[in-house]
Amino acid sequence: MPPGVCHVSSAKGQEMADVVVLGAGVSGHTAALHLRRKLGREHTVTVVSPNANWNWIPSNIWVGVGKMSKADVVFALAPIYRKKSIEHRQAKAVAIWPHGDNSDPRGAVDIVSTAADSVGDETRIRYDYLINATGPQLKFAMTPGLGPDGHTVSVCTADHAVEAADKLHECIEAMKAGATKTLIVGMGHGTCTCEGAAFEYIFNVDHELREAGVRDRARLIYLTNEASLGDFGVGGMTFDDMGFETSSELWTASLFREREVEAILGAHVSQVREGVVEYETLDGERHELAFDFAMLLPPFGGVPMSAYAADGSDITADLFAPSGFMKVDADYTAKPYAEWKASDWPHTYQAPGFDNLFAVGIAFAPPHQISQPRKTSNGTMIAPSPPRTGMPSGAMGKTVAMTIVDRIKNPAADARRASMADMGAACVASAGANLRTGSAAAMTMMPVVPDFDRFPTGRDLKQTRGEIGLAGHWVKLMLHHLFIHKAKARLGWQFIPE
């Protein structure tokens, strides 16, 4: 029986169980919906999320160029959870007590309310099963001057994206009046992830500039921590193209050349001043780049939480990696990059030593980078972090939900498995939003984490493909509507795959 599970139970399974999900992003929200779908009303499902709203983050890039409004990508969670009988706590989790405390051996989470009528109120809630799906902490502070409180904009949240669109259109108006501008899009630190989002944003900006008739007045620069174009934090991809193995680097470089977007590679942004980015490249050289508009993504960390044993002693380091991400069933043995294996990646997302504690999506600690980490001659780390978003994130959420459903019925049930080294992902990177003139770089990769023991190129060439065209834009728009339909738990939501 899972440690801490002592709620009314029998050999046949638990008669009542309390399942708590921390976070209402893609993985947490997916898990909560499937838990509620599969569990009887005698069991409770509680979602703890500091935000009152759900945000389809992949479409934030369209908000960031003014093609969509905030209302198109955000909706209130409360009505959905009310309809589905899911308890919703608008709060942030600050501490986990996986062994329980002195008053109750069941696991518990300390949460602090973020709701307007009770902000700051702290409560301890009990759980029989806990899913940590808290997503990323946006660590703008790791680069001085980075972010909406500094000198750059972001598209990480819908509000950030609205601000980005306003500033972009100020730039476009100035260009229409005859000014020339330098626009930078990319990564605000050497350890950032989500390069695909920056890639999408810069080509959407390019598309907007062309539609506004001012592309010739803009210098567009992609500033990235990737050592080569097309890396995307997954070490790039190899495609079978007309019988030849083609790299995503060549394919991506073609698009940059065609659209006249400049690229600065292997860069760590060290500071942003008013209108100036300071960065270091892999050769150790330091540079300054003046800009009029800059959208630079922040590095991610785990949402900070502490962990305590029942006697109150601090066990945070046992549950969490120094990055703040939760340790799960991955192989975290320190080893050189060249020695890592696909099998190091987690399969069940279960925290070591706890059968009732899981971490999914960005919240779990990856065992190592997928893209090769590098250091500059000054010792600065430039290492794109592995993405754990989108399709894999939803698949992990559902898998863990189904494990919990199994264990509520039979506490000895094995955990279900969904390794990123076995699952694929589609990445549809918009390159312009228009039903007739838009385009996207549409990629599929199988698996996400390359497995060189199974495939010479790391991935299955039959399922790892890339193509550019209008159809990709239609796919991304279709996914936008499908996933919002699913997240709103509308008719047939469960048939839309993760």
Partner 1 sequence: MSDQPVADLSRAPLPTAKTLRQRRSIPLQLTRFVVFNTRIMKMVLSGHKGTH
Residue 493 burial by CB count (10 A; 0-12/13-18/19+): exposed, middle or buried?
A: middle
Residue from 201, 203, 256, 345 in contact with partner 1 (CB under 8 A): 256
Is 436 a binding residue for partner 1 by CB under 8 A? The answer is yes
Applying the rule CB under 8 A, the residues between 138 and 167 that interact with partner 1 are none
Residue 285 burial by CB count (10 A; 0-12/13-18/19+): exposed, middle or buried?
A: exposed
> Could you write out the three-class secondary structure of 146-163?
CCCCCCCECCCCHHHHHH
Applying the rule CB under 8 A, the residues between 46 and 105 that interact with partner 1 are none
Beta carbon nearer to partner 1, 148 or 411: 411
Give me the DSSP letters along 321-386: -TTSPBP-SS------GGG--GGGS-SS-BPTT-TTEEE-GGGBPPSS-SSPPEE-TT--EE-PPP
- The residue assigned the tokens 């330091």 is 286
Q: How far is the CB of 93 from partner 1 (least distance, A)?
A: 24
N- to C-terminal Cα distance for the chain? 30
Residue 263 DSSP SS3: strand
Residue from 221, 295, 330, 487 in contact with partner 1 (CB under 8 A): 221
User: Interface with partner 1 by CB under 8 A: which range of 17-25, 37-45, 126-134, 460-468?
Assistant: 460-468
Q: How far is the CB of 83 from partner 1 (least distance, A)?
A: 25
Residue from 84, 465, 485, 488 in contact with partner 1 (CB under 8 A): 465
Per-residue contact string for residues 411-430; x = within reach of partner 1 by CB under 8 A: ---x-xxx---xxxxx----
Beta carbon nearer to partner 1, 19 or 165: 19
Per-residue contact string for residues 267-306; x = within reach of partner 1 by CB under 8 A: --------------x---x-x-x-----------------
Closest CA to 434 of 477, 467, 468, 466: 477
User: Interface with partner 1 by CB under 8 A: which range of 119-127, 154-162, 231-239, 395-403?
Assistant: 395-403
Closest CA to 488 of 133, 21, 75: 75
Beta carbon nearer to partner 1, 160 or 347: 347
Applying the rule CB under 8 A, the residues between 466 and 495 that interact with partner 1 are 467-472, 474-475, 478
Residue 71 makes CB contacts below 8 A (sequence gap 6+) with none
Is 253 a binding residue for partner 1 by CB under 8 A? The answer is yes
With contact defined as beta carbons under 8 Å apart, do 319 and 96 qualify?
A: yes
Beta carbon nearer to partner 1, 202 or 395: 395
Beta carbon nearer to partner 1, 148 or 233: 233
Q: How many residues bind partner 1 (CB under 8 A)?
A: 52
Residue from 192, 237, 404, 442 in contact with partner 1 (CB under 8 A): 442
With contact defined as beta carbons under 8 Å apart, do 222 and 182 qualify?
A: no
Amino acid at site 421: A
Residue 28 makes CB contacts below 8 A (sequence gap 6+) with 21, 22, 47, 49, 131, 133, 134, 135, 360, 361, 397
Q: Which positions lie near partner 1, rule CB under 8 A?
A: 221, 229, 250, 253-254, 256-258, 262-265, 281, 285, 287, 289, 391, 395, 398-400, 402-403, 414, 416-418, 422-426, 436-437, 439, 442, 444, 446-447, 463, 465, 467-472, 474-475, 478, 497-498
